């Protein structure tokens, strides 16, 4: 699992530019002999047919990552960026980046003003992304043009993966390449097993608009949808009052999410699915962490309203630290246990599972 997560973290895939990461995931599906298809947005879809008497399930995870696009190339050859997704502006200066052009990938760095020239009042000021610039070594706009740099080219944090103590990994876009790895492992585990028809979708543009998966959800029309994504780990000094989720503490579910920054949406999960996962965790001898807070949102918020009866939804995930920073931290053992948990939950779906919420 560790090697698979690291492999996927190193493949560029800015929101709206998922072709390369989709190719890397499709290669794994080919290796496993699992057929897949793509739609016009780039969602990668695989289906393992099961018992038609059981409610069908969509399990999905986003393969895109946040970053930037080139906004302008200055006459000096320095490059200005436009943001794509929720980039943390206070953690951008001095980061290494990768610009993907039609002529190939180019490294660069988001410049940080020379410390010796930084006035005392500048030292604690966050520089907005629009004031930052990328130095890729070019001495003129003409040089950048000749190297293939054009307005709109995708720019991401320079992909990296570091092996930390205790088997943990720090790397680029653990959110949500760890989810992508989990979904590959889940598809492999479900091959040839009885159970509900299960659709696996590696989705697009989550970091950009939270709706990229919608065509794939429409096409598969599931009764149940599960999204695999991060759970905010709260076991660092700056996060302790937000909850109990611990890195290395095993997989978990979200009991409540709400965006809270302008978007009136979130997921209050279907109670039957909460029960299902609680029983599956107990049956498999796995811990089940619980998360409930505002500030986060996933595509699942929109899927729940689809069709004439709605879709029963639950966010499942792995603990992760430092979300949206250039280096995020995950424990692959949590991701592996999440795969086991989802498999155990799918095994427990029987014809008696009633998803209609009746008057109580
Ligand atoms: Zn994510």
Q: Is the pLDDT of residue 250 over 80?
A: yes
- Candidates 321, 39, 340, 324; CA nearest to 186 is 340
Residue 119: how many other CB atoms lie within 10 Å: 8
Top-confidence residue, 358 or 261: 358
Instruction: Retrieve residue 270's tokens.
Output: 């279907």
Tokens of 351: 């014809």
Pick the more confident residue, 296 or 323: 323
* CA dist., res. 328 & res. 2, Å (int): 14
pLDDT given at position 296 = 82
Residue 73 corresponds to which tokens in the numbers above? 């190339």
Arithmetic mean of pLDDT, 185-213: 96
For 3, phi then psi, to 5°, come to -70, -35
CA of 108 relative to ligand 1 center, distance in Å: 25
**Would you place residue 4 in the very low, low, confident or very high pLDDT band (cuts 50, 70, 90)?**
very high
d(CA 187, CA 314): 18
CA of 206 to the centre of ligand 1 (A): 7
**Cα-based distances in Å from 115 to 111, 122, 136, 326:** 11, 10, 20, 21
Q: Which residue do the tokens 């996060």 mark?
A: 239
CA neighbours closer than 13 Å in the CB half-sphere of residue 167: 12
The band of 360, judged by pLDDT with boundaries at 50, 70 and 90, is confident
Nearest to 273 by CA among 292, 253, 293: 253
Arithmetic mean of pLDDT, 15-19: 98
Structure tokens at 46: 């695989």
Question: For strand 161-163 and strand 104-110, is the pairing parallel, antiparallel, or unpaired?
Answer: unpaired
pLDDT tens per residue, range 98-119: 999 999 999 999 999 899 989 9
* Residue-by-residue DSSP string for 202-236: EES-HHHHS-TTHHHHHHH--SEEEEEEEEE---S
pLDDT value at 261 more than 80: no
- DSSP, res 129: G
Residues 6+ apart with CB under 8 A from 311: 58, 217, 222, 223, 224, 225, 303, 304, 305
Task: For the full predicted model, state whether its pTM sits above 0.85.
Answer: yes
State the catalytic residue, choosing from 7, 49, 89, 206: 206
- For residue 20, what pLDDT is reported? 98
317: CA distance to ligand 1 center in Å?
A: 10
- What residues sit around ligand 1, an ion, with C-beta below 5 angstroms? 175-176, 229
Contacts of 324 (CB under 8 A, 6+ apart): 66, 85, 86, 87, 88, 175
Tell me the CA–centroid distance for residue 99 and ligand 1, in Å. Answer: 22
- Rounded Cα distance, 23 and 128, in Å: 34
pLDDT value, residue 3: 97
Kindly state the DSSP code that residue 126 receives in the 8-state scheme: P
- Rounded to the nearest angstrom, the distance between the alpha carbon of 176 and the centre of ligand 1 is 5
Cα(18)–Cα(12) distance, integer angstroms: 8
Q: How far is the CA of 324 from the centre of ligand 1 (A)?
A: 9
- The string of pLDDT tens digits covering residues 67-85 is 999 999 999 999 999 999 9
DSSP 299: T
Q: Which residues of 84-114 are buried (b: 16+ CB within 10 A; e: fewer)?
A: bbebeeeebbebebbbbbeeeebebbbbeee
For the residues 42-50, what does the mean pLDDT come to?
97
By three-state DSSP, how is residue 108 classified? strand
Q: What is the DSSP letter of 55?
A: P
336 is a catalytic site residue? no
């Amino acid at each position: 699992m560790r090697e698979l997560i690291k492999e996927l973290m190193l493949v560029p895939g800015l929101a709206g530019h998922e072709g390369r990461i989709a190719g890397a995931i499709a290669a794994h599906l080919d290796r496993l002999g699992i057929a897949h298809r793509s739609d016009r947005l780039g969602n990668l879809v695989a289906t393992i047919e099961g018992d038609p008497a059981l409610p069908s399930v969509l399990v999905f995870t986003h393969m895109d990552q946040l970053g930037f696009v080139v906004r302008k190339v200055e006459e000096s050859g320095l490059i200005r960026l436009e943001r794509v997704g929720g980039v943390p502006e206070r953690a951008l200066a001095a980061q290494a980046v990768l610009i993907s052009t039609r002529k190939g990938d180019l490294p660069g760095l988001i410049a940080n003003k020379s410390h010796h020239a930084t006035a005392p009042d500048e030292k604690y000021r966050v520089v907005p992304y629009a004031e930052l610039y990328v130095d890729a070594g070019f001495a003129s706009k003409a040089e950048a043009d000749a190297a293939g740099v054009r307005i709109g080219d995708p720019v991401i944090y320079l992909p990296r993966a570091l092996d930390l103590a205790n088997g943990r990994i720090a790397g680029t876009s653990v959110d949500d390449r760890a989810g992508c790895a989990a979904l590959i492992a889940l598809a492999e585990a479900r091959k040839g097993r009885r159970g509900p028809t299960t659709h696996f979708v590696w989705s697009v543009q989550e970091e950009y608009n939270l709706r990229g998966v919608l065509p794939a959800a429409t096409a598969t029309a599931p009764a149940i949808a599960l999204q695999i994504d991060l759970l905010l780990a709260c076991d660092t000094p700056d996060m302790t009052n937000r909850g109990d989720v611990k890195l290395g503490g095993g997989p978990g579910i979200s009991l409540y999410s709400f965006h809270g920054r302008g978007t009136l949406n979130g997921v209050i999960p279907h109670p039957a699915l909460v029960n299902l996962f609680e029983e599956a965790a107990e049956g498999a001898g796995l811990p089940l962490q619980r998360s409930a807070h505002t500030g986060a949102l996933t595509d699942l918020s929109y899927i729940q309203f689809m069709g004439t009866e709605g879709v029963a939804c639950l966010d499942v995930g792995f603990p992760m630290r430092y979300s949206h920073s250039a280096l995020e931290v995950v424990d692959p053992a949590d991701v592996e246990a999440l795969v086991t948990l989802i498999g155990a939950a799918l095994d427990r779906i029987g014809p008696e599972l009633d998803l209609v919420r009746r008057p109580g």
